[in-house]
Structure 1
Amino acid sequence: MSRRGWVGGPDERGTLDIVWSCVSTLFICLWSMLHLNIPSPKDTFWTIFWRKARWLLLGVLAPEVPMLFAAGQWASAKRSVKAMRDMGFDEEEWSLEHAYYADSGGFELRTVDREAIPITAKQVHYLIEHDIITLPRVTKKEIWDKSNADKVAKFLACFQTAWLTTQTIARAIQHLAITPLELSSIALALTSLTTLWYWLQKPLDVETPTLVHTKPIERIPNDRDPQLSNVYQHLSLAVATASFASIHLAGWNFSFETDWEAWLWRGNCLVMWGLLATYGTTEVVACCNERFQKLGMDTMGGYKMRWPACLWFIIPASLYAMARLALLFEVLYSMRSLPSDAFVEVKWSSFIPHI
């Protein structure tokens, strides 16, 4: 009987292999990315489930939106830490973890005449400053004990993204076809990891009871007031959002079955990149120019906006949504017919451990 030693896998991959590699990477990245605020004790299992499902769907359709809110919460937490330092509190007494915990509804104020209400980090600072409360004595360890953060999932998200990106670069070096699904998955995964970085010090799935959406409010909404504080934060976020569309532009010369598919891909990529770049540039300019800011929002948390801001937001957002949906359609539609070398494996890829 003949015997053989180490035998490599086949030098081709199937459609299911491509889909599984992309979908598994996206699922792990999106799942580990989300750090939603603390639910109300009135919220049922299905309320919490559908809230998370909506944010997961948003992470697929418009990954820049969760990243925007994550960046806003990060900026708010940084401001809170600075304000507390100015009051004389050290890292152990008030850190980014404390600020995130407060802004997600972790601290609730109890008064004589009404039920407990959650208070944000800014409100904690105000109440301490006016000698209404003392600083809540909660350590970082106690906050993380309440958190259900999954470090393994975060590691897998980084590993899978690195694997998919490395494999795609290797395919480009060896002049093998890259599918639109792979390129789009890399863009989504990298954007999700950027969001995860902003939320890295935010406690995950804390079950501390808070109330929801009354006056006074019962719960701190996930999409509350995503305002950045300086030009550098605006600039970094503008670069990050434009990078999402830029990755898609790398597929400018992709081989599609028909010409209209190729031009649809190129056109939608240009629309997305142009809108994101223009919007990001405007935000940076507005941050530097006080007169320009007067065209903007009165308040974002209350959703009261002047008409120039409404037009500036609604029209580009509608165009972006249409371009993004068209691009998603093309990513899925292109899987019906791919170039033959899209199924050829990179020679060394089968020997690298991955999901």
Structure 2
Amino acid sequence: MFLRRFILAYIYFCLLSVCEAQNTDGNSTSVVADAVTDPPNQGWTSGPNGRGTTDIIYSCGITMFLCSWSVLCLNVPGPNDSQFRLFRRRIYVTALAFLGPEFLFQIALGQLISARNSVQQFRDSIQKLPDSEKKNKEWTMTHAFYADMGGFRFHSKGCPQFPQGWPKFPVDAKQIHYLWTEGYIDFPAITREEIRDKNKVDAVLRIFTIFQIVWFIVNMAGRRAQNLAITCGELTTAAFIVCSFGTVLCWAHKPADVTTSVDIEAKATIAEIICKAGDRAAAPYTNTPLDFVSRKEWSWSIYWSNWINILRCLGIVFGPQTRPVDRFENTYSLELPGNTKWIFFGVTAAYSGIFVTGWNYSFPTHTELILWQAAAGTMCASLVAYWVVTEFGFVWWPSLERKFRGNELDASDIEKVSQPLSLVHPKRRQKYKLEYAAACVRNNTVSQDPQFNAPLKSILPIYVIGVFYCHARTYLFVADIIQLRSLPASAYDTVDWSKFLPHF
């Protein structure tokens, strides 16, 4: 009896030692009392009795697609846009939302802030009117969104250049307020109900998306509560939900899939409006002759223009090509003034931080784990680096220059860069070429619009940050797929919801 117990105890401690020796990488579970370890990882698994690999792919894929497709509220298209062009444009924006949902959230947040400012601006102007003129003058968030998405088209009187009047072009909320307060147009006579009637949002699709998102979140919470494995694809989907939820909140008052606009007739010609505006309207316009009213480029719009123009040089052209434009570009991001940019950084930090929660996930190889950690860390570091580089180039350095060097421009350097290369002294040609190359990097627009000038201290580091961020984002997508070839066995277990019910 003693010998048998001794042999059993010896075998038990041998098994315990072997299991503890294999538990050095942090991915294995501790040994239980009966010396039985977790089952090994599984590859492709069918799901007749639980959830399989196909179920995981379907759940993540359909949720990410819905978060990218159903939340879209595109701007009003041009009058000559075909249905195929509208569908293709929606595919483009969906792809942008799929690759970077935080970019779509930034666009939505900028539009929300612009709409709120517009409502306050109109409200203050209406309050100054006599009581007899306040009647039937309504400007709500729906009006502001409808205007900023190109719902109002401006039509001016004829001129020698255009005897029948300028081509109709969209005007945003700030431009409408300017035209109305200056007496160039009547107050837009369209009610909120009429704008909502143009709204073609698919309510069934939105409801289905909400149910899918809620179920996905509840299921992940249940898996976490019961210590069941969560895949990298599910983490990516959870990150999508964070940004998509913020986008939906920002676009709560914005009409969706509106294809018709309202014409606004002017009481004056474009020439009269520009002449009365003075010097601020003298500069050449980029989109419409009324750009001087509301246009304000900021760091992100300058970066975006720089990247888009690089694609243009490669033969990839985005946005309207006619001037004045017949629609507002869907990817144009309005300024995030003051502390509102911290809302964007907060949501983006939450989006990037979700990937960090998979720091010690189980991967088929240790190399893949290291790559996942590097990619997740790079995304978080890119956010911080973007803020530091942008603040340094657009705020801190110009402030230091104004403080120590004043606001004087070095006119001689500008003249040297602008003169022909043949007139430059041979000893200075190399330096001239470098200065000319730097000027092209700062501003690569066709018209050399000075509002798109980017400081080299920002644009060059942003190139590097962008490359690292895009590679990290791409690998996270790749890791979501390749991890499926070997997952912990508990990844295929379903949540036992009966354990959450009280037992009597």
TM-score for the superposition, normalised by structure 2: 0.62
8 Å contact from structure 1 (residues 11, 345) kept in 2: no
1:101 paired with 2:101, answer no
Partner of 1:346: 495
Report which of the two structures shows the higher radius of gyration computed on alpha carbons.
2
8 Å contact from structure 1 (residues 103, 121) kept in 2: yes
1:235 paired with 2:273, answer no
Extract unaligned runs of 5+ from structure 1: 1-8
Moved more, 256-265 or 37-46: 37-46
Count matched residues.
341
Higher RCO, 1 vs 2 (CA within 8 Å, ≥6 residues apart) = 1
1:56 paired with 2:116, answer no
Moved more, 278-287 or 90-99: 278-287
Counterparts of 1:302 and 1:287 in 2: how far apart (Å)? 13
Partner of 1:309: 458
SS at match of 1:108: strand
Map 1:1-355 onto structure 2 (within 5 A). 12-88=50-126, 93-112=138-157, 113-208=165-260, 212-231=320-339, 233-280=340-387, 291=398, 303-348=452-497
Counterparts of 2:343 and 2:401 in 1: how far apart (Å)? 23
8 Å contact from structure 1 (residues 238, 277) kept in 2: no
Give the C-alpha shift of residue 139 in structure 1.
0.9
Counterparts of 1:76 and 1:286 in 2: how far apart (Å)? 25
8 Å contact from structure 2 (residues 74, 330) kept in 1: yes
Give the C-alpha shift of residue 330 in structure 1.
0.7
Give the C-alpha shift of residue 272 in structure 1.
0.3
Give the C-alpha shift of residue 156 in structure 1.
2.6
Give the C-alpha shift of residue 259 in structure 1.
0.3
Give the C-alpha shift of residue 253 in structure 1.
1.4
Identity percentage over the alignment?
Answer: 34
Counterparts of 1:31 and 1:203 in 2: how far apart (Å)? 15
8 Å contact from structure 1 (residues 104, 220) kept in 2: yes
Counterparts of 2:452 and 2:200 in 1: how far apart (Å)? 32
Counterparts of 1:281 and 1:158 in 2: how far apart (Å)? 36
Partner of 1:5: none
Q: 1:246 to 1:225 in 2, by over 3 A?
A: closer
Counterparts of 1:287 and 1:43 in 2: how far apart (Å)? 38
Counterparts of 1:292 and 1:340 in 2: how far apart (Å)? 58
SS at match of 1:109: strand
Spell out, residue by residue over 1:27-53, the C-alpha distance to the aligned partner (whole angstroms, 9 max, x if none).
Answer: 222222111101112212221111111
Partner of 1:6: none
Counterparts of 2:90 and 2:258 in 1: how far apart (Å)? 14
Counterparts of 2:141 and 2:223 in 1: how far apart (Å)? 41
SS at match of 1:88: helix
Counterparts of 1:82 and 1:288 in 2: how far apart (Å)? 28
Partner of 1:3: none
Moved more, 208-217 or 11-20: 208-217
Q: 1:289 to 1:141 in 2, by over 3 A?
A: farther
8 Å contact from structure 1 (residues 234, 283) kept in 2: no
Moved more, 154-163 or 100-109: 154-163
Counterparts of 1:104 and 1:320 in 2: how far apart (Å)? 30
8 Å contact from structure 1 (residues 31, 56) kept in 2: yes
- Counterpart residue identity of residue 348, structure 1: W
Q: 1:258 to 1:41 in 2, by over 3 A?
A: same
Give the C-alpha shift of residue 67 in structure 1.
1.0
Spell out, residue by residue over 1:110-131, the C-alpha distance to the aligned partner (whole angstroms, 9 max, x if none).
Answer: 1122121110111111111211
